Structure 1
Amino acid sequence: MSSLEITLKVILLFFVLVTIHEWGHFYFAKRAGILVREFAIGFGPKLFTFKKDETRFTLRLLPIGGFVRMAGEDPEMIDIQKGQTIAVKLNKSNQVTHLYLDQLTGRSGVIQGEVAQIDMERKLEVALLVGEDDAKYDIHPQAMMVTKGTETQIAPYDRQFGSKTVGQRALSIVMGPVMNFLLAVVLFCIVVIMAGVPTNTKLESIVADQPAQHSGLLKGDIVKSVNGKEIGKDATVLTTLIQGSPSKVMNWIVVRNGQEVPLQVTPSGEGKIGVVIGFDKRSANFNEVLTGTWDYVSKTTVGILDGFKKLVFGQVKMDDLGGPVRIVEVTGQFVQNGMTSYIYWAAIFSLYLGLFNLLPFPALDGSRLVFLGIEAVRGKPVDPSRESIVHFVGFALLMLLMVVVTYNDIVRLIKS
């Protein structure tokens, strides 16, 4: 497999997992009537951007996540103050469609004046002092503020994140991780279908000049029994028997071309014979697909949560943590092992992203859900400015951790 193909598949994995997560936020925010200002994949400088309807879609330089920026979720960056001189553009219904904050001289088809009163959230109206006259205009709900050549759509209160019910806001947040869970289930299901159901233990390959070859074992042999013990599809039984019989003669019965063939195999002193063990398989039926998918999801979830627990209680060293570089390295290894392996890793990674984002750590979805839970209990929201500070500090700590683990990844690569 070429390096280009591996690179493209690694990029595709990141793109799909992050996009499906952010789409969960985006779709349910839009359903709740929230104005979504930006749908971004990655962080940092913009590489590519386009606008569709009310949302700007961007691809950014650093492939370490993504975000959906909703109106009112954080304090709005642009505001118009009383006494400020602005220019407004009206439509045929005499509604303000554009509010110009700078470069007022030379603009045609506008009305320029000093702001006497303005409300862009609830009343949607502006009063201007134009010369000696007063003028009051209604503001269109989708009016644009223009400054430094950039248009920013206003966000009436009923289009802001904070105006929605706790349930609507919680749904728009939790559906990001939920989409990762659903994707993981679908991918694990595909893995079960592609991998099939093991029926017998089979020898996938024979290492040259090792006990297996000397004993007459061949690639493709199905191992029926060893020392009178039926092997079936449980390869661990076979490996245990081999490891427990160093330098001892073992009586094997293998099935070759439909015929049973008895052989005597003597493992090395280290309890090895030089084979790669695989399975003879058949297609999974509907019930087996369901149970196999459930087994993958449940066991992987338990493993990930156990890893989080060890991290919290200090049972994992900082040097053992991997960052983006390590993830790319591991993903490349799964890619080289074939499509089934690649999809299996994508499912694990998607499940991990979903669970990680639900951790109650500032800046993660879990932390935002905690604040909504507090609001539901006390009957009023936490001060938005204080919540923003908490999330900002959490994001800074996450970025610091990312730098540390990336340094570990680079040092590990250099040493290896």
Structure 2
Amino acid sequence: MNFETLPFWVYIVGFLLMLGPLVVLHELGHYLVGRWFGVGAEAFSVGFGKEIAGYTDKRGTRWKLSALPIGGYVQFQGDMNPASQPDPDHPASEGDFQNAPLWQRALIVAAGPVANVIVAVGIFSAFFMIFGQPVASDPVQENVIVEFADDSPAREAGIQVGDRIIAVEGEEMDSFREVQQAIWLYPNEELDVTVEREGSRITIPVTTRSEEITDQFGNASVIGLIGVQGPAIERVFEPVGPFAALGLAWQQCVETVDMMLVGIKQIIVGDRSVEELGGPITIAKVSGEQLSLGWLEFTSFAALISLNLAFINLLPIPALDGGHLAFYAVEAIRRKPASPRSQELAFRTGMALVLALMLFVTVIDIAKLPIFGS
């Protein structure tokens, strides 16, 4: 099978258009909340490493573009480095990050991931307001099984044509799309499928089968199937207002994060291959592919990456935002900060862990390149 290939420059443009704005918005969250509380900022960098270009504003903040475009940082006044470790050689002064009250420091740190969540909610809300909410034209026939696939675990388990799927693993299903999403995540796993048959609810355990699907660019993923097909129901898009759109967008974000957590758990326990992890090269590849499909697909992918950035940064790993928040929680409980020695050791360990993870996923990315075959 021949897969679609793109010019190399499309991947570069897609990567920069994807990660650049999301990193800027993340760091702007930190910066703006810091300014709100009167904390000075010495540097605002998109990327790490050597400065390529930049300027200093009237507040003394150095805005710069750095050589390694895989992240960014705000270095607040009084910080020794971008990890916000206090500079022992810096005389304490008004506007230092370390002198801000604990609750203000926590809000400044949390503002970055929150900004990424706001971006995702904003994108999904805009989609719902522009296109509306899809609903079935005939809700009575929704989730009714009309036929089985040749290889159907559902039929083998005792589900029948005419049954209506109303829940999977105890969670109510309002549409066939929800049924698909609930099952796709669990290849080769037993799921309790609840159907309505002649007015009665029956729960039947069904072991999904695993199938690998490949998109037009050759990206493969493994999904779970039970081999059922619903009726061809026309879907209409009902207009929604701003507040309803926000609610639907938040629900979409929660469902997306839930799928991320399920996927990570499956990789940890060995139910999925680590090859499904992706680093900067995978992000660049998929960003270019989504850009080639159009701005709608590209923007949808941006919402997904924005949620991923928020999730990763909230992990309780020193050197990440979640690590700072964990230290602040300890400080709130102990009524005093952890010792400088313990903080330095934790941040060094956290940085080593982050670099090791980045190296690991980059090696996986490289191994998946076409030049290495399958």
Pairwise same-fold verdict (TM > 0.5): yes
Amino acid at match of 2:54: T
> Is 1:299 aligned to residue 304 of structure 2?
no
1:41 aligns to what?
A: 46
Q: Deviations over 1:198-231 (max 9, x none)?
A: 3568xxxxxxxxxxxxxxxxxxxxxx8xxxx976
1:320 aligns to what?
A: 276
Q: TM-score, normalised by structure 1?
A: 0.60
1:410 aligns to what?
A: 366
Deviation of 1:245 after TM superposition, in Å, equals: 7.7
Aligned in 2, Cα 1:8/1:319: closer, same or farther, shift over 3 Å? closer
1:336 aligns to what?
A: 292
Aligned in 2, Cα 1:72/1:307: closer, same or farther, shift over 3 Å? farther
| Aligned ranges 1:204-283 → 2 under 5 Å | 241=146, 243-244=148-149, 281-282=236-237
State the alpha-carbon separation in 1 of the partners of residues 357 and 121 from structure 2. Answer: 29
Match of 2:102 among 159, 166, 173: 166
Aligned in 2, Cα 1:349/1:410: closer, same or farther, shift over 3 Å? same
Amino acid at match of 1:415: G
Structure 1 residue matching 2:368: 3-state secondary structure: helix
Aligned in 2, Cα 1:315/1:384: closer, same or farther, shift over 3 Å? farther
2:113 aligns to what?
A: 177
Deviation of 1:65 after TM superposition, in Å, equals: 1.3
1:19 aligns to what?
A: 24
State the alpha-carbon separation in 1 of the partners of residues 237 and 130 from structure 2. Answer: 10
Instruction: Flag the structure with higher helix content.
Output: 2
Q: Are the aligned partners of 1:198 and 1:282 in contact in 2 as well (CA < 8 Å)? A: yes
Match of 2:239 among 251, 264, 284: 284
2:60 aligns to what?
A: 54
Deviation of 1:316 after TM superposition, in Å, equals: 4.9
Amino acid at match of 1:402: M
State the alpha-carbon separation in 2 of the partners of residues 78 and 291 from structure 1. Answer: 46
Aligned in 2, Cα 1:320/1:175: closer, same or farther, shift over 3 Å? same
Deviation of 1:350 after TM superposition, in Å, equals: 0.8
Aligned in 2, Cα 1:33/1:290: closer, same or farther, shift over 3 Å? closer
1:30 aligns to what?
A: 35
Q: Looking at CA atoms only, which structure, 1 or 2, has the larger radius of gyration?
A: 1
Structure 2 residue matching 1:167: 3-state secondary structure: helix
Deviation of 1:189 after TM superposition, in Å, equals: 0.8
Structure 1 residue matching 2:333: 3-state secondary structure: helix
Q: Are the aligned partners of 2:27 and 2:112 in contact in 1 as well (CA < 8 Å)? A: yes
Match of 1:390 among 346, 362, 366: 346
> Is 1:377 aligned to residue 333 of structure 2?
yes
Match of 1:63 among 69, 91, 98: 69
Higher relative contact order (CA 8 A, sep 6+): 2
The unaligned stretches of length 5 or more in structure 2 are 152-226
Q: Deviations over 1:303-330 (max 9, x none)?
A: 1233344455565544332111111222
1:258 aligns to what?
A: none
State the alpha-carbon separation in 1 of the partners of residues 247 and 339 from structure 2. Answer: 46
Match of 1:197 among 130, 133, 137: 133
State the aligned residue count. Answer: 285
Deviation of 1:25 after TM superposition, in Å, equals: 0.9
| Aligned ranges 1:139-150 → 2 under 5 Å | none
Which segment drifts farther, 392-401 or 362-371?
392-401
State the alpha-carbon separation in 2 of the partners of residues 77 and 16 from structure 1. Answer: 30
Aligned in 2, Cα 1:199/1:313: closer, same or farther, shift over 3 Å? closer
State the alpha-carbon separation in 2 of the partners of residues 336 and 184 from structure 1. Answer: 21
* Identity percentage of aligned residues: 31
The unaligned stretches of length 5 or more in structure 1 are 80-119, 122-155, 202-223, 247-270
Q: TM-score, normalised by structure 2?
A: 0.66
2:167 aligns to what?
A: none
Aligned in 2, Cα 1:31/1:357: closer, same or farther, shift over 3 Å? same
Deviation of 1:45 after TM superposition, in Å, equals: 2.1
Structure 2 residue matching 1:334: 3-state secondary structure: helix
1:188 aligns to what?
A: 124
Aligned in 2, Cα 1:78/1:351: closer, same or farther, shift over 3 Å? same
- The two structures, once aligned, show a CA RMSD in angstroms of 3.3
> Is 1:363 aligned to residue 363 of structure 2?
no
Deviation of 1:165 after TM superposition, in Å, equals: 0.7
Amino acid at match of 2:365: D
Deviation of 1:377 after TM superposition, in Å, equals: 1.2
Q: Are the aligned partners of 1:193 and 1:283 in contact in 2 as well (CA < 8 Å)? A: no
Structure 2 residue matching 1:158: 3-state secondary structure: coil
State the alpha-carbon separation in 2 of the partners of residues 346 and 42 from structure 1. Answer: 18
Q: Are the aligned partners of 1:191 and 1:343 in contact in 2 as well (CA < 8 Å)? A: no
Q: Are the aligned partners of 1:21 and 1:177 in contact in 2 as well (CA < 8 Å)? A: yes
Structure 1 residue matching 2:127: 3-state secondary structure: helix
Q: Are the aligned partners of 2:109 and 2:325 in contact in 1 as well (CA < 8 Å)? A: yes
Q: Are the aligned partners of 1:181 and 1:351 in contact in 2 as well (CA < 8 Å)? A: yes
Aligned in 2, Cα 1:197/1:64: closer, same or farther, shift over 3 Å? same
